[in-house]
Structure 1
Amino acid sequence: MVTFLIILLVIACVALGLFVLVQNPKGGGLAAGSASSNMFGVQRTGDVLEKGSWVLIALIVVLTLSITTIGKTGNHDAAGSSKIQEQLDKTPNQAPLNLGGAGATAPVTPPAGTDTSKK
């Protein structure tokens, strides 16, 4: 189910990118100085593309929220563990560094004849 939703999300993102690239510029940004920004004057096609862009944006939001919800609540085994957790459980634990346990060396003390006080 999640894989199907992810495929739909990718298709919606590609379609949104195409819709945005096909639209005529509105006169702002980089196209503000060019005379060809409104050359063809096709207003109806621009409205359809703009509404299609808004529909695709809403679809992308709904798909991402549903993928997140299904990913958090679904796909769990009866024990509640995932494949990553099972792999972590299989790996052996490494021993921590020996910082003062058995076999540690004694701290170094200065020789008895030297003065260790600061002046």
Structure 2
Amino acid sequence: MLFLIILLIIICVALGLFVLIQNPKGGGLATGGSGSNMFGVQRTGDVLEKGTWVLLTLIVVISLAITTIGKTGGASTGSGSSKIQEHLDKTPTPSPIGGNVAPQTTAPAPAPADTAK
């Protein structure tokens, strides 16, 4: 599971770089300027766009895999998480409506004060 998390972080960084490298697709603030694509910029844009979609798909698939492994426990669960689970299993859960609350005992009335001095 740790390997998948590290792989996910690497893919996220690569996706960020792919997005930052791409040329803007017109519209917005990038509309006033050069209108010609020189030196094969269109091909590079296609490769970067396809790479972005591939990396995005990998992020979704790996995120779902991490979630599935996390829910089922996975084969590589460490001893720390099992100790935590054992501790949680030992602690009693209180009733949400307060059924396990001890009955309150009334305190004895205070003794009358001696007013004769």
| Displacement after TM superposition at 1:105 (Å) | 4.7
TM-score, length-scaled by structure 2? 0.64
Q: Within 1, Cα distance between the matches of 2:88 and 2:74?
A: 18
Q: Within 2, Cα distance between the matches of 1:10 and 1:29?
A: 30
| Displacement after TM superposition at 1:70 (Å) | 1.1
Letter in 1 for 2:3: F
Name the counterpart of 1:69. 68
Structure 2: gaps spanning 5 or more residues? 109-117
Name the counterpart of 1:59. 58
Identity %: 66
CA RMSD, Structure 1 to Structure 2 (Å) = 3.3
Give the 5 Å matches for 1:35-50: 35-36=33-34, 41=38, 42-50=41-49
Larger relative contact order (C-alpha < 8 A, sep ≥ 6)? 2
Structure 1: gaps spanning 5 or more residues? 107-119
**What SS does structure 1 have at the residue aligned with 2:55?**
helix
Q: Within 2, Cα distance between the matches of 1:93 and 1:67?
A: 29
Name the counterpart of 2:5. 6
Name the counterpart of 2:111. none
* Distance change in 2, residues 1:93/1:65 (3 Å): closer
| Displacement after TM superposition at 1:100 (Å) | 8.0
| Displacement after TM superposition at 1:89 (Å) | 4.7
Matched residue count: 97
* Distance change in 2, residues 1:72/1:48 (3 Å): same
| Displacement after TM superposition at 1:31 (Å) | 1.9
| Displacement after TM superposition at 1:62 (Å) | 0.8
| Displacement after TM superposition at 1:82 (Å) | 4.0
| Displacement after TM superposition at 1:90 (Å) | 6.0
TM-score, length-scaled by structure 1? 0.63
| Displacement after TM superposition at 1:69 (Å) | 1.1
Match of 1:104 among 102, 106, 114: 106
Q: Within 2, Cα distance between the matches of 1:69 and 1:89?
A: 22
